[in-house]
């Protein structure tokens, strides 16, 4: 396994191979890079070199006493991209999508194009969710999986969950005006039955100067697992298309 120091913290990373453009996969909350590397990364192998890292307190990267925040997650991502030595494309799922948006606001020089899947730009954009706690159904299985990867062990699972739930309840809190400052071409992806409200997702798309929107039918927050071939094709098409796109009857884009 490969570890590097990101902002002084030992971090598990998957480094890209080859000379192709890099796409950096940003995992969601209470997860790791493992699923995206296994299920999503292979679809990029022909045209892109894939990179990933487990952010602090997730997967194979140990935690610290500091609370989780999107600012810190974006700074970790910036440090990794600087380690790679060149701007990258980003594919961010859930909290990883929020991180991608945060990075595009603060360090647009590091990002070429962005795909966000199931991202929310404000904490109020989620449907009401049951809080995940040590007494929740499925927590024991999740904690066992967490402990099998984390350097902190299974005992840290309840702490990681509490920190994640605090993040979900308090962040992000961006405004439409904040989103309008994102100049990076961005594809917004959602399942039609996502935990992010559809109107919230559409508002994100409408606010982005170079936004595109894809709502996948018969899909939830797990749209990439439910429709792997379809989403892979959509992602690759977006990353390789000429921008701005040519359409027949443009309304929001210049013809």
The structural domains of the chain, ordered by start, are 2-240 (3.40.50.1820)
Q: Alpha-carbon distance 95 to 145, whole Å? A: 19
Q: What is the pLDDT of residues 226-253, one digit of tens each?
A: 999 999 999 999 999 999 999 999 998 8
Query: Sign of the C-alpha dihedral, residues 39, 44, 46, 52?
Result: negative
Phi, psi for 110 (deg, rounded to 5): -95, -5
pLDDT of 204 strictly over 80? yes
Q: Which residues contact 247 (CB under 8 A, 6 or more apart)?
A: 253
What is the per-residue pLDDT for 28? 98
Residue 255: pLDDT band (50, 70, 90) is low
- Percent share of the chain, pLDDT over 90: 97
Q: Alpha-carbon distance 27 to 93, whole Å? A: 6
Q: Alpha-carbon distance 173 to 25, whole Å? A: 23
Q: What is the pLDDT of residues 28-86, one digit of tens each?
A: 999 999 999 999 999 998 899 999 999 999 999 999 999 999 999 999 999 999 999 99
pLDDT of 104 strictly over 60? yes
Residue 147: pLDDT band (50, 70, 90) is very high
- Dig out the tokens for 236 from the structure: 């690759």
- Percent share of the chain, pLDDT over 70: 100
What is the per-residue pLDDT for 33? 98
Instruction: Evaluate whether 180 touches 209 at the Cβ level (below 8 Å).
Output: yes
Q: What is the pLDDT of residues 167-192, one digit of tens each?
A: 999 999 999 999 999 999 999 999 99
DSSP helix/strand/coil, 167: helix
Q: What is the pLDDT of residues 1-18, one digit of tens each?
A: 899 999 999 999 999 999
Q: Alpha-carbon distance 161 to 28, whole Å? A: 13
- Map tokens 């600087």 to a residue: 82
Instruction: Evaluate whether 184 touches 108 at the Cβ level (below 8 Å).
Output: yes
- Map tokens 């039918």 to a residue: 217
Q: Alpha-carbon distance 202 to 194, whole Å? A: 12
């Amino acid at each position: 396994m490969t570890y590097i120091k990101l902002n002084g913290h030992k971090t598990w990373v998957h480094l890209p191979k080859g000379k192709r453009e890099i796409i950096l996969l940003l995992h969601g909350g209470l997860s790791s890079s493992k699923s995206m590397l296994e299920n999503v990364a292979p679809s990029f192998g022909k045209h892109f070199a894939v990179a990933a890292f487990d952010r602090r307190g997730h997967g194979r990267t140990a935690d610290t006493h500091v609370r989780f925040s999107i600012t810190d997650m974006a700074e970790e991502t910036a440090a990794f991209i600087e380690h790679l030595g060149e701007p990258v494309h980003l594919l961010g799922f859930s909290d990883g999508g929020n991180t991608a948006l945060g990075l595009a606001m603060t360090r647009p020089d590091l990002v070429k194009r962005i795909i966000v899947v199931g991202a929310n730009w404000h904490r109020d954009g989620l449907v009401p969710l049951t809080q995940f706690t040590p007494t929740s159904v499925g927590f024991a299985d999740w904690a066992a999986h967490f402990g099998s990867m984390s350097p902190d062990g299974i005992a840290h699972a309840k702490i990681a969950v509490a920190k994640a739930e605090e993040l979900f309840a308090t962040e992000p809190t961006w405004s439409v005006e904040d989103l309008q400052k994102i100049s990076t071409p961005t594809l917004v992806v959602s399942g039609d039955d996502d935990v992010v409200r559809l109107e919230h997702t559409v508002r994100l798309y409408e606010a982005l100067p170079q936004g595109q929107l894809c709502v996948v039918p018969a899909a939830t927050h797990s749209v990439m697992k439910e429709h792997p071939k379809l989403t892979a094709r959509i992602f690759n098409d977006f990353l390789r298309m000429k921008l701005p796109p040519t359409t027949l009857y443009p309304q929001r884009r210049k013809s």
